[in-house]
Amino acid sequence: MTATTRNRIAVLHGVNFDILERRNPELYGGRSLSQLEHQIEGWARAAKLEPIFFQTNHEGEFVEYLHRLPDIADGSLINAGAWTHYSRAIADALDVTGLPAVEVHLSDVEAREDWRKVSVFDGLVVRKISGKGAEGYREALDVLAHELGVAS
């Protein structure tokens, strides 16, 4: 890769993803976050992307990480969990990054409770992918590779 290559992808997980393996396996697949990240890492490398992983249960920490994002990443893949549905603070911080972002959900949020159909990231993300399980992350990486002009 040349010095000008923009291929660093921050893979951001929000609240309750640290206990992913304890959440409803029918909705979330039963794997742990580190297993999911391992899978994402393989897909990212195959797509010539450099993944950086982050998870927190603290909204302010998530916001502060987004503040630093333009220094360490070229794009982001965001699954903010329940914050997706109400945290305007996180949406505002994502907007400030100015980086292409793809929103991902393991479960099909459109087919669940009405409150999950609302996303604060509407209009801020390049694509929203939900209901495809881990495979949705692979699709999100492809979208970001395309956005950043990274050819695999």
Which positions are catalytic?
28, 105
**Shortest distance in whole angstroms from residue 76 CB to ligand DQA:** 15
Closer CB to ligand DQA, 70 or 115, in the complex = 115
| 12 residue type, one letter | L
CB count, 10 Å around CB of 60? Answer: 10
Asked if residues 102 and 127 have their Cβ atoms less than 8 Å apart, the reply is yes
Residue nearest ligand DQA by beta-carbon distance: 81
**Shortest distance in whole angstroms from residue 3 CB to ligand DQA:** 35
- Measured distance CA(82)–CA(15) in Å, rounded: 7
User: Torsions phi, psi of 6, nearest 5?
Assistant: -105, 100
Closer CB to ligand DQA, 6 or 65, in the complex = 65
Neighbouring C-alpha atoms within 13 Å toward the C-beta of 130: 18
Q: What is the DSSP letter of 131?
A: S
Residues lying near ligand DQA in the complex (CB under 6 A) are found at 16, 79, 81-82, 84, 105-107, 109, 116
User: Torsions phi, psi of 139, nearest 5?
Assistant: -60, -40
Asked if residues 49 and 144 have their Cβ atoms less than 8 Å apart, the reply is yes
**Shortest distance in whole angstroms from residue 123 CB to ligand DQA:** 18
Closer CB to ligand DQA, 65 or 121, in the complex = 121
